[in-house]
Structures are given as structure tokens and as C-alpha cells.
A and B are shown apart, each in its own frame.
Chain A
Amino acid sequence: MEKKIQLPLDEETILSLHAGDTVLLSGTLITGRDAAHLRLIQTLEKGEDLPIELKGEVIYYVGPAPASPNHFVGSAGPTSSYRMDPFTPTLLDVGLKGIIGKGDRSQRVIDALVRNKAVYFAAIGGLGALIAQTITKSEVLAYADLGTEAIHRFWIEDFPVVVAIDAYGNNLYQIEQAKYRKE
């Protein structure tokens, strides 16, 4: 059964989620991938203020395709999360509460999720055309010069995800893959 969840996430909601739960997200989130992460981390390392508030936010790892006429955004599926692994613990430590991406995470990221009571959702890679239909508005928040890699604000309605790593450190990928592995 699908759980419907409104963003931003509060602690009670996060703690009620378990690896494997199918969730439909509505509300707003921010986007960011490789280039934006690098800039956010460099800004923090210099001790400067971030151009956006991360506290309580959910970030979606995506670089959307351009919108064609009659669409709000173009194809907009998740990108591989492991490339953000070096940066993610720092962002969680400054208040990020949720992440949407695809694929497994490093142990450092899992530890940071548990430490900060945050959650990692997986969207399905290669569903960009369908996922785009759940994004009802998009605007650029920061780093406009990065184009598709800029940080956007997305307004979403029933955006489909699965809880991949919950705030207790349970990992959907490990649990489900083990069930079907034949030696």
C-alpha cells in the first residue's frame, strides 16, 4: 500500500518510514546534482552562507531535460546517488532531512542518515517521462549558470518513491537483493 506524505518532512514522519515502503510525495523539494553539490560544499568550507536554506529540505538528484510545449519540465528521473556520497554527510549535518536518488549509498552516508534522523528515497531510474508528470511547477533557486544542474525548486504531486534507506539504517537494496540471489 502506498503512503501519501506531504513535504517538508517532520521527524515523526521520518521515523514512521521503513525501508521498502512505497511512498507518494507531495509539496516542494529542491534539486541538485554533481556540480551544485561541489559548489555547496566549497561554500561551506569557506565558512560562507549557502544561497539556499537546507534545514528541513528534501533534495532530488536530477538534471531535467528541457520542457517541451505543454509540459512544466522535460523528462526528470533520478541520477545515480553514489557520486554525491562524498558531499552528503556534510549536507545532512547542516539540516538536510531527505534525499531522492537512485542506487546504494556508502556507509558514511548511511551513518549520517541515522545520526541526523534523515531518510533516503529511491526513485526508479529511466522513468523520467512519467515522473515529470508529477512535477507541477519548476523554478531556478540558485546557480542558474549551471543550466540543467542548477538548483531548482520543484512543486510535486504524488511523486512516486520507495524508502531505500530509513532513519534506522535499514537498506532496501541489501534486503531485497538477498532474497533473490542464487549461489
Chain B
Amino acid sequence: MRILQTSLLTQKVKELFIEANVDIGPSLVDRLRSAMEAEASPIGKNVLAKIIANDEYAKREKIAICQDTGVSVVFIDIGQDVHFDGGDFNEAIHEGVRQAYKEGYLRKSVVSDPLFDRKNTQDNTPAIIHLRIIPGNEVLIKVMPKGFGSENMSTLKLFAPSVGIEGVKRFIIETIEKAGPNACPPMIVGVGIGGTFEQAALIAKRAVLRGPDHPNLDPRYYELEKELLDLANRLGIGPAGMGGSTTVLAVNIEHHPTHIASIPVAINISCHASRHAEGVL
């Protein structure tokens, strides 16, 4: 058994949220650069150039890429041989978020109640925490500050199997079209197909987390991702929705076994500032 102090968890969560909010990472910048070269619209080309300049500036100055530093989503895979010591596990994560958003000058965007008083919690807590138990004695942490311009454009639907692949494709493309300029295109589109109501949504978010460089390993889904990317980029929405051939940078699909009666489909949209960072304890 490996004993880990929860203070290490707090420290790591804090570092990762600050990193994710100021440094978009090389793979997304590379993808934006090749999109800019291929972009058909002069306005769109210019928007992509500005997005790249913004991302580089934010990294250099260590300031937030976007003012919407999001809800703090935390994915943790815990090795089953790990024991946490030194305090409440969940509180240690919230404390990491609290420190990151204060010390990193990140915007606090969480309200305590969704419907009634909508008072800002002032420290961006609570984090949204997704846990899995895995073999081994390591703890893998991935953080995602999730902006809500694009989160609000996400959707979920449970289809009858007769809808088939064509119906699912149509739903995904319609969702991207409806998201349009509001989702700050070019988007990263995470699709979760299968499972149950809540599982589809969760794997859609995990699909976003894969970033632009990790297509599905199943050749059938790999082809579907490529086809959907091509269809989405025919919509004409373009960078910032101001027209063009770059509407989506990647469509990432995650799939899961499901019930004989259903095809659950969840679509989680991310803006071009698709931020995440990961670390290991």
C-alpha cells in the first residue's frame, strides 16, 4: 500500500489549473496553425491568426487565455493500492481549485444555487469531480477548466436503434450548427455514444479531454470521426462564426455498450480554447 498525503493532491490540482488556464499546449496551437493555412475565408484566416497570437501572449504573460476560466472539472484515476492520509480527499481537491483561482488571477464563475439566489461562491468551488479506481499505486489527475459559452451548446438525446448511424450523424451535425458562433469556433466536439443517460454525457466530456491529436482507435469510429469533421466544416460557420471552412478542429467519439432499446448520444462542445492539463502523483 502507498500512503499519499492529501496536501500533495491540493498542490497538484492547483498547479494544473493554473497551467491549463494560461497554456493551451502545443498540439492545439499546431492544429490552429494548419487550419489557418487552409482556411478559405480572409476574415476566418485573420481570426485564427489572432487566436494563435492570443494563446502565445497568454502563455508568455502567464495570464488567462480566456476570461471564462470555467467550472473546474477534475478527472482522477486512483490506483487501488493508494491510501490517502491527512484530511478529506474531496476537500483537498476543492482547496486546490480555491488556491489556483486566487493565486492564478482566474475568474470565479460558480454560483452556489442554479435557480434561486445564484450567489457567486467567490472561489470557483465546488469542483466537479469524476473518479475511477484503476490497478496500481499511482494517481492520474486531469483537469479541465470548462467554459460555458460552449458548454451551454451541448446536448444529449436517447434514440431508438432504428434511427441508425445516419440519424446519429444528423443529430451531431445539427448540434454543431446550432452551437454556431456562440461556442467560439473552431470547436472541439466530444461525442459519447452508448451507455446510459449519465454515462453518455460523461464519456462525451472524456472525448473532449482527448484533444485534437488522439483519434478513436477503432477503425469504424475513426472513419466516422473523419466524416463528421468533414461534414461539420462544410457548414460555413467558420472561425468565430464569421464564415469560413474551419468550424471544427476535431470530432472525438467515445463509445460504450448500451441497452437493446437505445442509442444514447451526448455531445459536449468545447470552444477553440479547449484547456486541460494532466499530472501524476
Contact = CB atoms under 8 A, between A and B. Distances in A.
B67 A77 contact: yes
Contacts of A62: 67
Contact of B63 (A75, A103, A125, A173): A75
B272 interface: yes
B41 A176 contact: yes
Contacts of B108: 147-148
A172 B118 CA distance: 34
B29 interface: no
Given A63-B107, A65-B69, A130-B50, A179 B243 contact: yes
A129 B236 contact: no
A127 B242 contact: no
Nearest to A164: B242
A125 B61 contact: no
A128 B236 contact: no
Q: How large is the interface on B (under 10, 10 to 19, 20 to 34, 35 or more residues)?
A: 35 or more
Interface in A109-154: 122, 124-130, 132-133, 147-149
B271 A125 contact: yes
A126 B237 contact: no
Contacts, number: 157
Interface stretch (A9-17, A39-47, A48-56, A66-74): A66-74
B238 interface: yes
A35 B118 contact: yes
Given A103-B181, A147-B108, A173-B241, A65 B236 contact: no
Given A66-B105, A66-B107, A162-B242, A124 B47 contact: yes
Q: How large is the interface on A (under 10, 10 to 19, 20 to 34, 35 or more residues)?
A: 35 or more
Contact of A122 (B109, B240, B244, B245): B240
A74 B180 contact: no
A78 B97 CA distance: 24
Given A65-B69, A65-B107, A77-B66, A126 B241 contact: no
A130 B149 CA distance: 19
Contacts of A129: 54, 57-58, 61, 63-66
Contacts of B242: 122, 162, 172-173, 176-177
A147 B120 CA distance: 8
Contacts of A63: 67-68, 107, 109
A70 to B, nearest CB: 9
Given A74-B105, A77-B66, A129-B65, 13 more contacts: A63-B109, A68-B105, A79-B149, A80-B182, A103-B182, A126-B66, A127-B54, A173-B180, A176-B242, A179-B41, A180-B40, A180-B44, A180-B236
13 contacts: A62-B67, A65-B67, A65-B69, A77-B68, A80-B182, A102-B184, A103-B181, A103-B182, A126-B271, A129-B61, A130-B54, A177-B238, A177-B241
Interface of B: 40-41, 43-44, 47, 50-51, 53-54, 57-58, 61-69, 105-109, 118, 120, 122, 149, 152, 180-182, 184, 234-238, 240-245, 271-273
Per CB-CB distance, the 10 closest pairs between chain A and chain B, nearest first, are A176-B243, A181-B236, A125-B184, A180-B236, A129-B58, A75-B64, A103-B181, A68-B105, A182-B234, A75-B67
